[in-house]
Amino acid sequence: MRILHVMRAPVGGLFRHVADLTEALSARGHEVGIVADSLSGDAATEAKLGALSRHAALGIHRLPIPRLLGAQDFATPLRIRGLARSLSIDILHGHGAKGGFAARLGGLGHKGAAALYTPHGGALHFDQKAPSGALFMAIERALLAATDAVIFESAHAERVFGEKVARPKCVTRVIHNGLTEAEFNPVAASTEAADFVFVGELRQLKGIDLLVEALGPLRRPDGSPATLVMAGDGPDANDLRTRIAALGLGDRVTLAGVQPAREMFARGHCVVVPSRAESLPYIVLEAAAAQRPLIATDVGGISEIFGPQAHRLIAPDSKEALQAAMTGFLAEPDRFGEEAARLRAFVHDGFSVARMAEAIEELYGQLLARR
């Protein structure tokens, strides 16, 4: 098959998914191309796309895909249509709200291709009662008429999409994201590790304010204060620094900047994911695969990752619940370690890149057989 993935910014879990899928499909003998936004990016973006290019036989194409709705949103689909025709594309797969918009509009003029959409969660956080949210949901509903299939990365995403947008009449599948086999190698904490580690975007949605507030009164069994290391960057980084200073936690919280997740797992005895909202976060999958003790909130598809241990998840947006869980880890680290080993085994069985790619490849083939 000749496949074209369309996304806006090559960052975060969405890009991770597209990159893993591109590499896996290429290894299975398919030819893959990528469309990504040309309006944003930096050296890190170029490096990521450059590394992916060896798996993209149909090339990496940079077209303007603005974050907000604008004139380029109507010009770019026309260019994608021309690109799909010139490359004889069989599958147009849009990822994220803007990638899905551009791919499906572009597919309207290329009848030989099947058009798929994976929301990747971001769209589902919109408030449909707000004017901007209502407009966005109306556009999503309209685009379903140009969609051959919707792939949801979690059952949670499928449910929320049905509630906020519509229940698609086209083919739908829940296909969980997956990890490579190498990522299931356990990571041990270093001798100088902090008690807790956070890895993710520094914004309020991720619960970073609750995390530092919960840390304040925490003490280890020997009475010494608990510590935290946080890796990442984001729009609320300065507010986080201000809050840490105001709470007098400057000597207990280390801001490490943007760092690889597995390297950071070794810098904390317990990974904390205090998010207020998520879809199917890679950071939870990665921490589970690395067999790290893990505290997470019951949002999005995290309960699907935890499976039989879903009862351990805590209420979101609750400093008290987060503080109680962190206190529990400090008191019983061995119990958390045993739970981490069982969670790793569960995730290994159900969340692999190979399994994800096989399911998506099978769906592509079914759609093409119908055309």
Alpha-carbon distance 203 to 209, whole Å? 9
> What φ, ψ does residue 21 adopt, rounded to 5°?
-70, -40
Packed helices 131-143 and 96-107: angle between N→C axes, nearest 10 degrees: 40
Q: Which of 163, 154, 99, 172 is nearest to 127 (CA)?
A: 163
> What proportion of the chain, given as a percentage, has pLDDT over 70?
99
Cα–Cα distance list, 259 to 15, 199, 276, 292 (Å): 16, 8, 22, 17
Contact of 82 with 105, CB cutoff 8 Å: no
What are the residue boundaries of the structural domains of the chain, listed by start? 2-178+352-370, 182-350
Alpha-carbon distance 235 to 251, whole Å? 23
Contact of 304 with 280, CB cutoff 8 Å: yes
3-state secondary structure of 34: strand
> If residue 271 lies in a helix (H) or strand (E), which one and from where to where?
strand 268-273
What pLDDT shows up at residue 216?
96
What pLDDT shows up at residue 146?
94
What pLDDT shows up at residue 69?
77
Encode 32-52: b = buried (16+ Cβ within 10 Å), e = exposed. Answer: bbbbbbeeebeeebeebbeeb
Please provide the size of the chain in residues.
371
State the DSSP code for 95: E
Site of tokens 């400057």: 250
Terminal Cα distance for the chain, rounded = 14
Report residue 203 CA to chain centroid gap: 15
Alpha-carbon distance 56 to 32, whole Å? 5
Alpha-carbon distance 88 to 347, whole Å? 37
- The CATH-assigned architecture of domain 2-178+352-370 is 3-Layer(aba) Sandwich (3.40)
2-178+352-370 against 182-350: fold identical: yes
184: how many CB neighbours lie within 10 A of its CB? 18
Residue 326: CB partners within 8 Å, gap ≥ 6?
196, 214, 215, 218, 226, 270, 272, 295
CATH classification of 182-350, choosing from 1.20.1250.20, 3.40.50.300, 3.40.50.2000, 3.40.640.10?
3.40.50.2000
For the CA atoms of 348, 51, 17, 139, the dihedral, rounded to the nearest 10 degrees, stands at 180
Residue 79: CB partners within 8 Å, gap ≥ 6?
63, 106
What pLDDT shows up at residue 122?
62
pLDDT in tens for each of the 371 residues of the chain? 999 999 998 877 889 999 999 999 999 999 999 999 998 777 777 888 999 999 999 999 999 998 877 788 889 999 999 999 999 999 999 999 999 999 999 998 777 899 999 998 766 767 777 777 788 888 899 999 999 999 999 999 999 999 989 999 999 999 999 999 999 999 999 999 999 999 999 999 999 999 999 999 999 999 999 999 999 999 999 999 999 999 999 999 999 999 999 999 999 999 999 999 888 999 999 999 999 999 999 999 999 999 999 999 999 999 999 999 999 999 999 999 999 999 999 999 999 999 999 999 999 999 999 87
Alpha-carbon distance 143 to 197, whole Å? 40
